[in-house]
């Protein structure tokens, strides 16, 4: 009877526990609906604060159409994995939108209306894989005012900036119009009338590229005493002898939250200062330097307009004499990925940026700002007086007295932090003494980086200007302006981690084995070359009549070569087998841990808990 009651009690207890479990799960599902815990190392599924602010600013509903050719990409696992990452991010953003973001996932089939609609949005169908299938993998967004914005194709190598690109698309739909960008320049960077030729000039290629994206507004340096509130971003190019009123207008623009991009130069090669037809030597001795001493001093920026950078680690070859080989020019540099900040959106995806006779930046000890490098020199660099390049005929002369300082100088950087006015003596209605929020300023110590000759070839083709870029200078400028002109929340979004996690140990084993394999392969090639050389020498000593007949020495040499060849090939197979064996051994260890060790550990923990409970009872 007792046993029966005990069995009944145990069954009733299990039923009660099951009902209680269902009730708890229902309660948790109701109270914590939508709650998520991100346990990934890089917080891949946690949105940045900037993205959250942009989503909260949405007033009218936004439609997002995620096009991915799911069936056509069945044999492309890496692309499908990344598509899952993109879809999960879009779903997370849509969930944060609380109904203001409507996400639609579409698999466009060939010759379907979905495919036509994707092409109509401007999405790109890219041929991927051996089957020659065209894959759609992009995002289109629309707002209530028929505004449209697209990401033509999600590139897996840009995954660190995936959230930024999506947030930028949403922000463009929220804003609904081009951002206004003001330009104050002492150089003829934009289109206008050229009095020397009495004709209209086109302007530099970088200005034309910016004008396609932004509402560009050229401001007169001599008449600018106030920056319009509509201008969210201001560009200064080669500022020279600006009045205090103009400097104060720039200063107040920054203090009220406007973003600033500054190009100064110790030797602006496009500077036409001192041009006088009656005195040809005037231009030779005229200063071609630009500076912002009052603003730089207020920000704590160190910049000397009398010094230029020499960088042997990135010097470009210059052809001076057609009859002589090119000469490395220490003051004309090409900076590549090792010199570009991979964590900054403006430079992460760029390959090469060319600079010429550039200056350098630093921060004073009293500066309250943070300087983040965008472009920096190699350690094989030094600074020298700008006078050395004014009358330079042979670039090799710059090597005289060159001594690297092992310091990596900043050519372009981002200033962030609260700034104070450079004109504390001024006052009046609306005049700010300090910025309320952190300022965002990008400084570049070169204006030649903007010129066509360093990055693009422009041709006139039947009245159309065709720009063929050979370096990333234009991309760099556009990226910086695009980042500055965007929402302040958008600027705060930085690069994120990637979802693909490589097997570091396996890759290390593979690299070691590949290295051994390459060494053996080189040995084989060397022995082959040595044997062929010996055969050639033996053949040279033979007459024409018996040239095709192998001598005993040649026959013996060939047999030795064949034996060595078989031996080394066997060693190559052994190396490759060892590679596979090491990887398989590692896999076996992991399987042993996952299949045997972990369950055994959990069993021991359970037995220990049961023993402890019985002993306590």
For residue range 308-349, list pLDDT tens digits in order: 999 999 999 988 877 778 889 999 999 999 999 988 888 988
Specify the residue for token string 């066509």: 452
Length of the chain: 617
Distance CA 295, CA 138 (A): 43
Question: Which position has the higher pLDDT, 177 or 336?
Answer: 336
C-alpha radius of gyration, the chain, whole number: 34
- On the question of pLDDT at 543 being above 60, the answer is no
Which of helix, strand or coil describes residue 134? strand
Specify the residue for token string 């390049």: 389
- On the question of pLDDT at 187 being above 70, the answer is yes
pLDDT, average across residues 287-298: 94
Among residues 476, 181, 535, 233, which one has the least CA distance to residue 344? 476
Question: Which position has the higher pLDDT, 541 or 161?
Answer: 161
pTM of structure: 0.66
pLDDT, average across residues 368-394: 93
3-state helix, strand, coil in the chain (%, to 5): 40, 20, 35
Per the rule left: phi > 0, alpha: psi between -120 and 50, beta: everything else, 462 is left
Question: Which position has the higher pLDDT, 468 or 140?
Answer: 140
Distance CA 488, CA 432 (A): 20
What lies within 8 Å, CB to CB, of 598 at 6+ separation is none
pLDDT, average across residues 177-205: 82
Specify the residue for token string 């804003």: 175
pLDDT given for residue 493 in this prediction: 66
Cross-sheet strand order for the sheet of 231-237: 215-219, 180-185, 231-237, 259-263, 439-444, 410-417, 370-376
Least confident interval from 28-37, 105-114, 176-185, 551-560: 28-37
pLDDT given for residue 492 in this prediction: 61
User: Could you tell me the two tokens for 610?
Assistant: 């049961």
pLDDT band at 306 (very low <50, low <70, confident <90, very high): very high
Cβ atoms of 347 and 375 within 8 Å: the answer is yes
Whole-number mean pLDDT of the chain? 82
pLDDT given for residue 243 in this prediction: 94
Q: Give 39-49 pLDDT, tens digit per residue.
A: 555 556 678 88
Distance CA 211, CA 202 (A): 12
In order of 2, 7, 18, 22, 528, the CA distances from 12 in angstroms are 15, 9, 10, 15, 83
User: Could you tell me the two tokens for 160?
Assistant: 């660190």
pLDDT given for residue 51 in this prediction: 86
Burial 108-144 (b: 16+ CB within 10 A, else e): beeeeeebeebeebebebbebeeeebebbbbbbbbbe
pLDDT, average across residues 198-218: 86
Question: Which position has the higher pLDDT, 9 or 88?
Answer: 88
- On the question of pLDDT at 34 being above 70, the answer is no
pLDDT given for residue 2 in this prediction: 47
Cβ atoms of 103 and 170 within 8 Å: the answer is no
Distance CA 447, CA 469 (A): 18
User: Could you tell me the two tokens for 229?
Assistant: 């509130």
Among residues 305, 291, 160, which one has the least CA distance to residue 238? 291
Distance CA 298, CA 301 (A): 8
pLDDT given for residue 110 in this prediction: 86
pLDDT given for residue 352 in this prediction: 94
pLDDT band at 578 (very low <50, low <70, confident <90, very high): low
pLDDT band at 406 (very low <50, low <70, confident <90, very high): very high
Q: Give 69-80 pLDDT, tens digit per residue.
A: 998 888 888 889
User: Could you tell me the two tokens for 504?
Assistant: 């570091």
pLDDT given for residue 168 in this prediction: 85
Distance CA 583, CA 349 (A): 33
- On the question of pLDDT at 432 being above 90, the answer is yes
Least confident interval from 327-341, 378-392, 484-498: 484-498
Specify the residue for token string 């899952």: 84
pLDDT, average across residues 459-474: 77
Question: Which position has the higher pLDDT, 405 or 525?
Answer: 405
Distance CA 255, CA 437 (A): 8
Percent of the chain with pLDDT over 90: 40
Specify the residue for token string 């302007």: 203
Name beta bridge partners: 101.
62
Question: Which position has the higher pLDDT, 227 or 503?
Answer: 227
Question: Which position has the higher pLDDT, 34 or 477?
Answer: 477
Q: How many degrees, rounded to 5, is the angle at CA 519 between CA 517 and CA 520?
A: 65
Per the rule left: phi > 0, alpha: psi between -120 and 50, beta: everything else, 146 is left
Distance CA 255, CA 435 (A): 4
10 Å CB burial of residue 159 (0-12, 13-18, 19+) is: buried
Sign of CA dihedral 25, 27, 28, 30: positive
pLDDT band at 155 (very low <50, low <70, confident <90, very high): confident
């Amino acid at each position: 009877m007792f046993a029966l009651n005990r069995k009944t009690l145990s069954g009733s207890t299990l039923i009660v526990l099951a009902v209680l479990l269902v009730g708890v799960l229902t309660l948790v599902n109701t109270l914590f609906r939508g709650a998520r815990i991100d346990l990934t190392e890089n917080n891949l599924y946690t949105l940045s604060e900037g993205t959250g602010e942009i989503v909260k600013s949405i007033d009218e509903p936004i439609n997002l159409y995620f096009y991915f050719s799911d069936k056509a990409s069945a044999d492309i696992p890496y692309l499908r994995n990344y598509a899952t990452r993109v879809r999960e991010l879009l779903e997370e953003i849509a969930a944060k939108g609380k109904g203001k973001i409507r996400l639609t996932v579409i698999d466009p089939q060939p010759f379907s209306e979905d495919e036509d609609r994707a092409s109509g949005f401007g999405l790109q169908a890219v041929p991927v894989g051996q089957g020659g299938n065209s894959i759609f993998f992009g995002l289109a967004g629309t707002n209530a005012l028929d505004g449209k914005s697209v990401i033509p194709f999600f590139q897996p190598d840009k995954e660190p900036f995936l959230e930024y690109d999506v947030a930028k698309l949403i922000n463009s739909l929220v804003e609904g119009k081009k951002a206004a960008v003001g330009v104050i320049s002492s150089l003829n960077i934009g289109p206008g009338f050229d009095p020397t030729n009495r004709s209209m000039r086109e302007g530099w290629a970088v200005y034309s590229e910016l004008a396609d994206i932004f509402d560009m507004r050229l401001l007169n340096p001599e008449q600018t005493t106030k920056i319009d509130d509509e201008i969210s971003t201001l560009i200064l190019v080669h500022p020279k002898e600006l009045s205090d009123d103009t400097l104060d207008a720039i200063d107040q623009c920054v203090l009220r939250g406007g973003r600033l991009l500054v190009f100064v130069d110790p030797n602006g090669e496009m500077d036409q200062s001192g041009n006088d037809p009656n005195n040809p030597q005037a231009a030779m001795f005229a200063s071609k330097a630009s500076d912002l001493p009052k603003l730089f001093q207020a920000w704590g920026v160190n910049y000397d307009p009398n010094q230029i950078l020499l960088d042997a680690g990135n010097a470009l070859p210059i052809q001076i004499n057609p009859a002589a080989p090119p000469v490395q020019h220490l003051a004309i540099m090409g900076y590549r990925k090792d010199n570009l900040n991979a964590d900054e959106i403006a430079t992460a995806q760029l390959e090469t940026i060319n600079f010429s006779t550039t200056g350098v930046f630093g921060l004073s000890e009293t500066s309250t700002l943070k300087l983040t490098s965008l472009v920096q020199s190699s350690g094989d660099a030094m600074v020298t007086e700008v006078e050395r390049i004014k009358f330079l005929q042979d670039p090799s002369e710059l090597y005289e007295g060159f001594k690297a300082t092992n310091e990596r100088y900043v050519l372009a950087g981002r200033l962030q932090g609260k700034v104070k006015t450079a004109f504390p003596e001024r006052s009046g209605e609306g005049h700010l003494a300090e910025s309320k929020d952190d300022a965002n300023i990008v400084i570049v110590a070169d204006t030649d980086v903007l010129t066509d000759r360093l990055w693009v070839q422009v041709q006139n083709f039947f009245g159309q200007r065709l720009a063929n870029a050979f370096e990333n200078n234009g991309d760099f400028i556009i990226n910086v302006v695009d980042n500055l002109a965007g929402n302040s929340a958008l600027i705060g979004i930085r690069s994120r981690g990637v979802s693909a996690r490589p097997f570091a140990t396996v890759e290390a084993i593979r690299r070691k084995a590949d290295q051994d394999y390459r060494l053996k392969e080189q040995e084989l090639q060397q022995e082959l070359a040595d044997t062929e050389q010996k055969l050639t020498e033996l053949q040279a000593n033979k007459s024409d009549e018996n040239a095709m007949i192998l001598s005993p020495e040649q026959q013996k040499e060939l047999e030795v070569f064949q034996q060595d060849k078989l031996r080394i090939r066997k060693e190559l197979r052994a190396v490759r087998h060892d590679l596979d064996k090491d990887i398989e051994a590692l896999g076996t260890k992991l399987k042993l841990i996952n299949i045997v060790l972990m369950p055994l550990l959990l069993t021991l923990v359970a037995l220990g808990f049961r023993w402890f409970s019985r002993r306590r009872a």
